[in-house]
Structure formats: structure tokens, C-alpha cells
Amino acid sequence: MAWEVFTKKIIRTGDPVITLGKMGRMAFNMQATNIFEAHNATHVVLLWDKEAYKCGVKLANNRDVGAYKLTFNKKYNGAGFSAVTFMNHIRYDWSETRAFSADWDEQAQMFVLAIPKEHFRTSGNLSQPLGKLKRSDRLKPKGQVATEVTT
């Protein structure tokens, strides 16, 4: 029998990384979250440069039009928010989870990430269906009937 080396899927890095998930969520690694925390960020707005295929995640406040509220995990080593409508708007194919390196632009107060062209849809159904979500925090106690949550 020949042995094969398993290549792990998660790559640890010291640079900010933004993950676009197959559930339509935009997630930030610990390095990116540290930048949010250093700037007391609670909200961001999303920017799109369709000619350069670049996304901007700019610091904002809750009064800014189109601002997304950041959700931090309990240890503050990650953050994220749902970006379904944005991903559909830019025609991003979010059928699988992908991570992208991001650069922090201190002057503009935003992360900039380039997304390769091959990750975009050009025809067909440009909205990715979510399907059925199973979340443990929405389960009913034993004996009660749980309702399905779909979006």
C-alpha cells in the first residue's frame, strides 16, 4: 500500500484573510479582526470595483447607508456578517468556500481584496440558493416539533 500525504485545507497566516463562504457569509481571520478591534469598528460598508474585480470592506458606523453590522466571536479572534445580497449583486459564485488575502489601506480605512475572474458567474441563475439551514440554537426541546428555517 502506498501512503499519500494529506494536505490540510486551512492555512495559517499572519496576514489578514477574508473568507467568502458557501452560506453567503463574509468572515475575517484573527489578523483582520485585530485591525477592526484596534479601530473600534462595529460596522462596515462594501465597495465593488467591477473593472479590477476588487472588493473593499470599509469601516463605517451604524448610521451609514448600507452598513453591515460586524459580529465578533466570543474570543474576538474572528468576525463576520452575511453578505448574500452583495455576493449576488457582484455575481460571485459562492457555491464553495474560498479564502482571499486582503490588504489593509490605512488611509482609506478599508480592506481590499482581489477576487479572480473565474469565481464569477456570467449567465444562468445569478443568485445562489441557501437551502435548508440547520442551526443548533434553533432546535426545540425534545417533544416539541421544530420548524424548518429557510431563507
Predicted confidence (pLDDT) per residue in 14-73, tens digit: 899 999 999 999 999 999 999 999 999 999 999 999 999 999 999 999 999 999 999 999
Q: Are 107 and 81 spatial neighbours (Cβ–Cβ below 8 Å)?
A: no
Q: Residue 145 pLDDT more than 70?
A: no
Q: What is the mean pLDDT of residues 70-95?
A: 92
Type and span of the H or E element at 84 = helix 84-89
- The C-alpha atoms of residue 28 and residue 37 are separated, in whole angstroms, by 12
Q: What is the mean pLDDT of residues 1-8?
A: 80
- The C-alpha atoms of residue 101 and residue 89 are separated, in whole angstroms, by 21
Q: What is the mean pLDDT of residues 142-146?
A: 55
State the pTM of this model.
0.74
pLDDT, one tens digit per residue, over 100-140 is: 999 999 999 999 999 999 999 876 555 555 544 455 555 55
- Kindly write down the DSSP assignment for every residue of 14-65, as one continuous string: SS-EEEE-TTSEEEE-HHHHHHHHHTT--EEEEEEETTTTEEEEEEE-TTST
Q: In the block, which residue shows the cell 455576493?
A: 87
